[in-house]
Structure 1
Amino acid sequence: MSQESRELRLAATLVEFADTLIGDFDPALHLSRLADRCMEFLGARGAGVTLLEANGRPGPVVHGAQQPESVRELLEWEQEAGPVHDSLASGRAARAVHLASREAVAHWPEFTAAARRFGIAAAYAVPLRRHETLLGALSVYTPHPPSAEGGLAIAQSLADATTVGLLNHRAYAQYRQLSGQLREALASRVRIEQAKGMLAERWGTTPDGAFDTLRQYARRNRRPLDQVARAVVHRVLTDTQLRADRSGPA
């Protein structure tokens, strides 16, 4: 892939990760694609995401569909000690480290031993973070020692676009839920007003009197007021049923 083609592909990927305002969005698949794109753009042997639980502890891990099971093992090792553990703790990037170095071996003995056994020479991690919201961290495992910081910058850009996409979808889903609740509340209000009008006209009483009858029936029978109004509108409830054992004015 030429440099120009690679840059165009990277730009398209960033847009793809931010574009999540769809109804059938799958967060796990989204994160799995992020891990696979790291292999494509960074020459990584593996990559994966560790999500944060609500209590701030490392939680579920997601790796790419094209990656070996050893990646999941490394992600699980990193929950206790490793670049992603440090990134989650600080909320910042953990720069690439040569896993054969004394510093790495002393800092993460179990993780470095496991990584080197799988042919991983270096590892780094970047946070999935937007302002004060930290969702998790992305781990990248490479078969060669760390060199320039370009890989870290690309990984952070991919993680940032993914985070924006996840947060946008969360807001979109909350909006859709609220919108649905408002629509249902409005429809319920319309049904109740319609039932009041039908009863008031049929009985020659006031809308308030008709509403009082609806409310008393709903309470006596422990049914939601909207459900009673719907039954009146569809002529399922009879006048006799509504007025049975009724106390108070009609």
Structure 2
Amino acid sequence: MRGRTSALKLAAVLMESVDTVCDDFDAERHLCRVSQNCAELLDALAVGVMYTDKSSTVRIAAGSRGAELARDLLENQHLGGPCLDSYGTGHAVPPVRLASADALARWPDFTGRARERGVGMTFAVPLRARDRVLGVLNVFSADPLSPLPAAGCPHESEDADALQVARALADAAAVGLHNHRAYTGYRDLSRQLQSALTSRVRIEQAKGMLAERWRTGLDDAFEALRRYARRHRLAMDTAANMVIDGSLDDTALRGGAPERLGQPDRPPSEAL
């Protein structure tokens, strides 16, 4: 990550990762794009995200670069791996060279599988929204299978830089997911409130029509409308619409025989 071009690319990617407040947002497509951007920025073999959806189902997203490899190694971590460690602790798993004895001891199955697929180094960072872990971004690199370098060597600095870039992308992706979920919640609440308000307006309109027609109070008109709705197991809004569109006559509202203008009587079970 050197130079002005790289910095501008990272800035653009971060902006893309948080731009999620829209109705056609798709979490898997979004995280596939985040994975692809990360793989390109770090020149990694593959990058994938293991995350949970709204129903807490574990899902996998991977960029087009090394998608099959990423999916294979993420699915292989059911017995242990950097993703599970990061998800469990809520902290990053720093770069680990898979030729090391530490990697083999920590994740024997995953390490063996990753080395067979040509992966020499891996690390993982959580997608955190405040105290909640929404998923984990896992990077797979073809770093040479060699011993860890001594402190201060170039590899150490490059690993730290790569980890910071991945952390920035994971944080941005987590903010994007959190913002979209909040947006969805507020949007749904707004629609519910609008529906309730519209329903209330129709009920008030029907009350006014009945009160004027019967030359009675609004309370008496409302009570007649409510009794009819309960008797026929209808929502108040439905009964109000019937009054407004003229399909419900006064006799039916007051408990008489005819149910609707121009329609035969029906048993309550058919009115559900």
Q: Sort the TM-score into its range (normalised by shorter chain).
A: over 0.9
- C-alpha distance in structure 1 between counterparts of 2:229 and 2:37, whole Å: 57
- 1:190 corresponds, among 201, 226, 243, to 201
Deviations 1:126-151 (A, max 9, x none): 00002211101110000015642000
- C-alpha distance in structure 2 between counterparts of 1:133 and 1:92, whole Å: 11
Deviations 1:91-122 (A, max 9, x none): 00000000010111111111111111111000
Q: Which piece of structure 1 moves more, 208-217 or 229-238?
A: 229-238
Do the aligned partners of residues 53 and 90 (structure 1) sit closer, same or farther apart at CA in structure 2, a change above 3 Å counting?
A: farther
The Cα of 1:39 is off from its aligned counterpart by 1.1
The Cα of 1:19 is off from its aligned counterpart by 1.1
1:151 matched residue in structure 2 = 162
Do the aligned partners of residues 81 and 184 (structure 1) sit closer, same or farther apart at CA in structure 2, a change above 3 Å counting?
A: same
> For residue 18 of structure 1, what is the amino acid of its counterpart?
V
- C-alpha distance in structure 2 between counterparts of 1:124 and 1:234, whole Å: 65
Deviations 1:144-178 (A, max 9, x none): 15642000000000000000011000000010100
1:62 matched residue in structure 2 = 61
2:28 matched residue in structure 1 = 28
Mapping 1:7-18, distance limit 5 Å: 7-18=7-18
Identity %, equivalent residues: 46
Provide TM-score, normalisation by structure 2: 0.86
1:71 matched residue in structure 2 = 70
- C-alpha distance in structure 1 between counterparts of 2:96 and 2:156, whole Å: 10
2:147 matched residue in structure 1 = none
Deviations 1:6-26 (A, max 9, x none): 110110110111111111111
* Structure 2 contact 45–65 (Cα < 8 Å) conserved: no
RMSD between aligned alpha carbons? Answer: 1.9
2:152 matched residue in structure 1 = none
Structure 2: 5+ residue runs without aligned partners? Answer: 145-154, 258-272
Do the aligned partners of residues 189 and 68 (structure 1) sit closer, same or farther apart at CA in structure 2, a change above 3 Å counting?
A: closer
- C-alpha distance in structure 2 between counterparts of 1:54 and 1:91, whole Å: 19
> For residue 88 of structure 1, what is the amino acid of its counterpart?
Y
Mapping 1:179-218, distance limit 5 Å: 179-218=190-229
1:98 matched residue in structure 2 = 97
> For residue 37 of structure 2, what is the amino acid of its counterpart?
R
- C-alpha distance in structure 1 between counterparts of 2:42 and 2:224, whole Å: 70
- C-alpha distance in structure 2 between counterparts of 1:55 and 1:87, whole Å: 21
2:41 matched residue in structure 1 = 41
- C-alpha distance in structure 1 between counterparts of 2:177 and 2:68, whole Å: 25
Deviations 1:214-241 (A, max 9, x none): 0000011000001100111111211122
1:165 matched residue in structure 2 = 176
2:189 matched residue in structure 1 = 178
- C-alpha distance in structure 1 between counterparts of 2:2 and 2:124, whole Å: 27
Do the aligned partners of residues 244 and 53 (structure 1) sit closer, same or farther apart at CA in structure 2, a change above 3 Å counting?
A: closer
1:137 matched residue in structure 2 = 136
The Cα of 1:70 is off from its aligned counterpart by 2.4
Query: Which runs of 4 or more aligned residues in structure 1 lie more than 3 Å from their structure 2 counterparts after TM superposition?
Result: 52-56
